[in-house]
A and B are shown apart, each in its own frame.
Chain A
């Protein structure tokens, strides 16, 4: 019988043979694809709205689950006990796939399949907007101002101002110079002796312990810092041309806006904000709540405070116009305004609403109106959509949101207005 062969472990081989790399990559692509396909559902899930960007979100994966013909729940199993098992005893939790295959080894049998993965909100938003295939949004030259708020550290220089002196590097530089000087002195001293056992100079330079004791005079002598030793941190201001944007969220807070309607509105605002934030460096957000009168409110109040009373939509628009005039001049700011309401406006206010909406269209990059009518309610309530049909500004879009599934399509529709404008 031939001899057994032992192949020894070689780290170089192990490093080279990352054989599953290609398949892992393909799997990740599949995961991403699966997320993209289900993005509308995922966004509609309540849990992600208003979360912080680093937060991990569990995303169900449909495309990467592997299916086979398998048995369902009424398949009994067999196990071994501790010697005293009685009928009726509970031995585990049901509902897990692969239960009862007591097989601690990597097997040939499919076990529990995972169909959820963690994705950060950041990544999710990236995928979301990848899907939109949006062009660069319109930004007029005037609105581009160099944002030099941030500066990045970039290397070290010989000259600089005092506050940026890097003491550590400077000290190190001095030591290096000192060692070099000592070595050259020592070298010169040793040269005539031609000592064969002298250590190579390179080594002495790097290892202070093996430095042969230099002549005492050299040590005693002061070795001050020199101009050449100084090292300064170099900062570069980030002069990327960047622009400001403001998102104005206007919401009807009248009595007719219930929690569901507010939630739908909130989802929309959330996406709008996230999207704008990926495109502009400096994004501000303004919340305006209105019933018959409008007030600027905080985010908390905006989403949670319910008010009673009727609705004058024009009041909200007027407030937005006031705020724009006061703080966000259109020549410096990209303005995105969006209004969510259930469309239950007092008829007498409609002409005023139309007029102020027109004015808003003139100052905003995009202005949108979302009418929130949970399914079924649209037949008996009045609608602003008919009124706004008369408003034909290219950067205006009115959408109807009936369910959470509508949020994504309406969002796309809203942003597509911008695209059309660019094309023209």
Chain B
């Protein structure tokens, strides 16, 4: 099926880079690896990493992907890129020449995004990616092979750690305050404010700031919190928690920018491929493939499609705004390209959509909100005059890491019994109870004492408990 030679790809790559540089993209050195479907399935199971620590869940993921692929339920991606320096991308061997050209151009879009977007630059160190993952794999393997530890014990910790991994900070570019800094801040806040009318006011009562509580401020990094506050964990157990936390934080920026990133890469692959002046046959194939990737999927959100539309809209509104748009959003102060590059650097999905997904665009995309009623998903609101704000709000709750409930550690010594008190910051969406129960059991496994989770279930504040006697639940007043 493959109708190209490597030499051709190298040639096209050079032309693509030339164009990309003209457009102003900047990227890490790029490496491409041609692989077959087995290789691709393997990379997919391990999130694209050339080396990764072993765990049965990746075997499961492989089996699942392979079954879906073998039965034709889902295809394989044309490429996969990982955020590293040099960036590594995998190309499917069986793709046609045009698909490879399109994919290479697309990869440079991602690469540029990795190198410049703040979520990546502030939270990950691309030049260390490969080595970090390799080191993690080495450490986990060493624990597995250690006769005093062994695979069963390692899995016991990893299973629990994987379950809790996403209960962590979302915006990694906000620095986490150390305990000392938190104490300092608490004391500072407790100081009386300067009052120009001190003489005539009764003296404000000084309240001693709370500085002994652990944690002082609710802590989102559940794994790290347990690592640092459960003295009964062995050194290797702490290390496993660290490894899982580090990997999660490597992948967080990807989740946080899924729509932007895919949209950006699609926007540029279109620009670049169009500027390559392909001959007619290739160009027609390009149109077909491009539209396949970017087609809206009815009833769902295709991140490629949505992202692409928003980027295009940003550019258009800065180059050719309609008079009405000028009235509504003001006259553009920057050129379209300038704006695009600025946005690519400083936004993530939530802020990107909040700022740049306009009411008009939502209407054009026919966005709607649905909810479950009985066995069916029913459209609740559409993007009309009244509905669009609500639809947008719901969308913002679901993009990025919005699908992960916010749960924080409130107290490590609740009731002076070393009970770990977690609180779910309820935003209208209830937790799935079966999952909550099983996951809480994992918290207890790592914490070693009773764990409780405060949440809201069907409008009632409830406390889920997990201790050595098992799971229980009660209502809170």
Which residues in A have some Cβ–Cβ distance to B below 8 Å?
1-9, 14, 17-20, 22-30, 64-95, 99-109, 114
Which residues in B have some Cβ–Cβ distance to A below 8 Å?
6, 9-10, 13-14, 17, 29-36, 38-39, 42, 44-47, 54-60, 62-65, 74, 77, 80, 86, 93, 151, 162-164, 166-167, 251, 254-255, 258, 296-303, 305-306, 365-382, 387, 391, 394-395, 398, 403-405, 407, 424, 428-436, 438-439, 442
Q: List 21 A-B contacts (CB under 8 A).
A: A5-B32, A7-B32, A19-B42, A24-B62, A24-B63, A69-B436, A71-B405, A79-B301, A79-B367, A80-B297, A80-B298, A81-B298, A86-B382, A87-B380, A87-B387, A90-B376, A90-B378, A91-B298, A91-B379, A92-B377, A100-B370
Chain B residues closer than 8 Å to A78, beta-carbon distance: 301, 367-370, 391, 394-395, 398
Shortest Cβ distance from residue B169 to the other chain A in the assembled complex, whole angstroms: 15
A67→B100 CA distance, assembly (Å): 38
Q: Are B300 and A79 in contact (CB under 8 A)?
A: yes
- Contacts A6-B34, A79-B298, A94-B376 aside, 7 further interface pairs with beta carbons under 8 A come to A1-B29, A14-B39, A26-B59, A76-B371, A89-B379, A94-B377, A104-B74
Q: Are B377 and A72 in contact (CB under 8 A)?
A: no
Q: Are B379 and A108 in contact (CB under 8 A)?
A: no
Residue of B nearest to A85 (CB): B368
A9-B34 contact in complex given A70-B435, A82-B298, A92-B370, C-beta closer than 8 Å: yes
Shortest Cβ distance from residue B49 to the other chain A in the assembled complex, whole angstroms: 10
Chain A residues closer than 8 Å to B381, beta-carbon distance: 87
Chain B residues closer than 8 Å to A65, beta-carbon distance: 438
A106→B86 CA distance, assembly (Å): 22
Chain A residues closer than 8 Å to B372, beta-carbon distance: 73-74, 94-95
Chain A residues closer than 8 Å to B10, beta-carbon distance: 4, 6
Q: Are A22 and B377 in contact (CB under 8 A)?
A: no
A108-B251 contact in complex given A67-B438, A81-B366, C-beta closer than 8 Å: yes
A2→B13 CA distance, assembly (Å): 13
Residue of B nearest to A81 (CB): B366
Chain A residues closer than 8 Å to B77, beta-carbon distance: 105-106
Shortest Cβ distance from residue B396 to the other chain A in the assembled complex, whole angstroms: 9
Q: Are A79 and B368 in contact (CB under 8 A)?
A: yes
Chain A residues closer than 8 Å to B38, beta-carbon distance: 14, 18
Chain A residues closer than 8 Å to B39, beta-carbon distance: 14, 17
A84→B366 CA distance, assembly (Å): 7
Chain A residues closer than 8 Å to B428, beta-carbon distance: 74
Chain B residues closer than 8 Å to A66, beta-carbon distance: 57, 162-163
A6→B8 CA distance, assembly (Å): 11
Q: Which among A6, A8, A23, A70 is the interface contact of B431 at CB below 8 angstroms?
A: A70
Q: Are A102 and B377 in contact (CB under 8 A)?
A: no
A108-B56 contact in complex given A80-B298, A103-B303, C-beta closer than 8 Å: no
Chain B residues closer than 8 Å to A25, beta-carbon distance: 59
Shortest Cβ distance from residue B331 to the other chain A in the assembled complex, whole angstroms: 30
The total of interchain contacts (Cβ-Cβ below 8 angstroms) comes to: 264
Q: Which among A30, A76, A82, A101 is the interface contact of B366 at CB below 8 angstroms?
A: A82
What does DSSP make chain B's interface, helix, strand, loop or mixed? Answer: mixed
A80-B306 contact in complex given A69-B404, A104-B74, C-beta closer than 8 Å: yes
A76-B375 contact in complex given A67-B438, A106-B77, C-beta closer than 8 Å: no
Shortest Cβ distance from residue B43 to the other chain A in the assembled complex, whole angstroms: 9
A29→B56 CA distance, assembly (Å): 9
Residue of B nearest to A92 (CB): B377
A84→B363 CA distance, assembly (Å): 10
A6→B380 CA distance, assembly (Å): 50
Chain B residues closer than 8 Å to A2, beta-carbon distance: 29, 86
Shortest Cβ distance from residue A19 to the other chain B in the assembled complex, whole angstroms: 5
Q: Are B378 and A88 in contact (CB under 8 A)?
A: yes
Chain A residues closer than 8 Å to B305, beta-carbon distance: 80
Shortest Cβ distance from residue B155 to the other chain A in the assembled complex, whole angstroms: 8
Q: Are B31 and A5 in contact (CB under 8 A)?
A: yes
Residue of B nearest to A111 (CB): B64
Chain B residues closer than 8 Å to A92, beta-carbon distance: 299, 370, 376-377
Chain A residues closer than 8 Å to B429, beta-carbon distance: 71-72, 74-75
Shortest Cβ distance from residue A409 to the other chain B in the assembled complex, whole angstroms: 22
Residue of A nearest to B9 (CB): A6
Shortest Cβ distance from residue A60 to the other chain B in the assembled complex, whole angstroms: 13
A106→B54 CA distance, assembly (Å): 19
Chain A residues closer than 8 Å to B439, beta-carbon distance: 67-69
Chain B residues closer than 8 Å to A80, beta-carbon distance: 296-302, 305-306, 365-368
A75→B397 CA distance, assembly (Å): 10
Q: Which among B35, B64, B377, B404 is the interface contact of A93 at CB below 8 angstroms?
A: B377
Chain B residues closer than 8 Å to A9, beta-carbon distance: 34-36, 93
Chain B residues closer than 8 Å to A85, beta-carbon distance: 366, 368, 379, 382
Complex A-B, nearest 5 residue pairs according to Cβ-Cβ distance, in ascending order:
A102-B300, A23-B59, A27-B59, A94-B372, A24-B59
Q: Are A104 and B302 in contact (CB under 8 A)?
A: yes
Q: Are A22 and B405 in contact (CB under 8 A)?
A: no
A109→B405 CA distance, assembly (Å): 13
Chain B residues closer than 8 Å to A114, beta-carbon distance: 64
Q: Are B378 and A68 in contact (CB under 8 A)?
A: no
Shortest Cβ distance from residue B99 to the other chain A in the assembled complex, whole angstroms: 15
Q: Are A23 and B56 in contact (CB under 8 A)?
A: yes
Chain A residues closer than 8 Å to B46, beta-carbon distance: 19-20
Shortest Cβ distance from residue A104 to the other chain B in the assembled complex, whole angstroms: 7
Shortest Cβ distance from residue B154 to the other chain A in the assembled complex, whole angstroms: 11
A67-B435 contact in complex given A6-B6, A87-B382, A89-B378, C-beta closer than 8 Å: yes
Q: Are B405 and A81 in contact (CB under 8 A)?
A: no
A4-B17 contact in complex given A79-B299, A82-B366, A114-B64, C-beta closer than 8 Å: yes
Shortest Cβ distance from residue B171 to the other chain A in the assembled complex, whole angstroms: 17
Q: Are A90 and B369 in contact (CB under 8 A)?
A: no
Q: Are A70 and B375 in contact (CB under 8 A)?
A: no
Chain A residues closer than 8 Å to B17, beta-carbon distance: 1, 4
Q: Are B376 and A67 in contact (CB under 8 A)?
A: no
Chain B residues closer than 8 Å to A77, beta-carbon distance: 369-371, 377, 394, 398
A79→B34 CA distance, assembly (Å): 35
Residue of B nearest to A64 (CB): B60
A67→B466 CA distance, assembly (Å): 15
Q: Are B380 and A4 in contact (CB under 8 A)?
A: no
Instruction: Point out which of A70, A80, A89 has the most chain B C-beta atoms below 10 A from its C-beta.
Output: A80
Residue of B nearest to A105 (CB): B77
